[in-house]
C-alpha cells in the first residue's frame, strides 16, 4: 500500500457557535465561510452549507465532524465528509487564540475523508479511501489539510 497525495484542502470558518456541554463533551459548530482544493486531478472551491461540529473532549483531544461540498473548476459537485482527531496541545491552543498558523508536526491532526459525486468525470473519488494530516492556518479559524489516497 502507498499514499498518493491527491490534493491540498484549505478551509476557513466563522467563529464557533457554542452548542454546549453534552453527554460526550463540549460541542461547537464552525460554519465554513470559504475554502479551496488544489491538486493534480481535483481543483475547486468550497460551496454551499458546510461546517465542523467539533466535539471537545475532557482528554484534550477534539473530534472533527465535518461536511461540505466542493465545486470543481470544471463544474462538478463533490460531497465531502471528514472525521478526525485533533490534539489540542498548548501550541495548538495558543495558535487558535492568536489566530496564528502551526506546522504539521506541532500537533496531531489526522482525518479520514469520504468523497461522493454523481459526475462521471470524478467517479474515481467514489471508490477511493482518503486520509489527511492538517495544521492551523493564520487568520483563522481555519485548517490546511494534505489529503492522500490509499493506493
What is d(CA 98, CA 110) in angstroms, rounded to the nearest whole number? Answer: 22
Walk along the chain (151 residues) and give the pLDDT tens digit of each residue: 999 999 999 999 999 999 999 999 999 999 999 999 999 999 999 999 999 999 999 898 999 999 999 999 999 999 999 999 999 999 999 999 999 999 999 999 999 999 999 999 999 999 999 999 999 999 889 999 999 999 9
| Strand boundaries in 14-129, DSSP class E | 17-22, 25-39, 44-56, 61-72, 77-87, 109-116
Q: How many distinct helices (H) and strands (E) make up the chain?
A: 1, 9
CATH of 3-150, one of 3.40.50.620, 1.10.630.10, 3.50.50.60, 2.40.160.20: 2.40.160.20
- Model pTM score: 0.94
Amino acid at each position: 500500500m502507498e499514499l498518493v497525495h491527491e490534493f491540498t484542502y484549505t478551509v476557513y470558518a466563522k467563529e464557533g457557535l457554542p452548542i454546549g456541554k453534552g453527554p460526550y463533551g463540549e460541542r461547537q459548530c464552525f460554519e465554513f465561510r470559504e475554502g479551496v482544493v488544489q491538486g493534480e486531478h481535483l481543483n475547486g472551491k468550497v460551496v454551499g452549507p458546510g461546517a465542523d461540529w467539533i466535539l471537545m473532549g475532557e482528554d484534550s483531544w477534539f473530534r472533527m465532524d465535518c461536511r461540505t461540498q466542493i465545486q470543481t473548476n470544471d463544474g462538478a459537485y463533490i460531497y465531502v465528509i471528514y472525521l478526525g482527531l485533533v490534539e489540542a496541545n498548548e501550541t495548538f491552543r495558543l495558535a487558535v487564540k492568536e489566530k496564528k498558523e502551526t506546522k504539521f508536526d506541532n500537533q496531531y491532526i489526522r482525518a479520514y475523508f469520504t468523497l461522493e459525486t454523481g459526475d462521471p468525470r470524478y467517479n474515481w473519488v467514489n471508490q477511493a479511501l482518503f486520509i489527511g494530516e492538517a495544521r492551523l492556518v493564520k487568520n483563522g479559524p481555519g485548517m490546511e489539510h494534505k489529503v492522500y489516497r490509499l493506493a
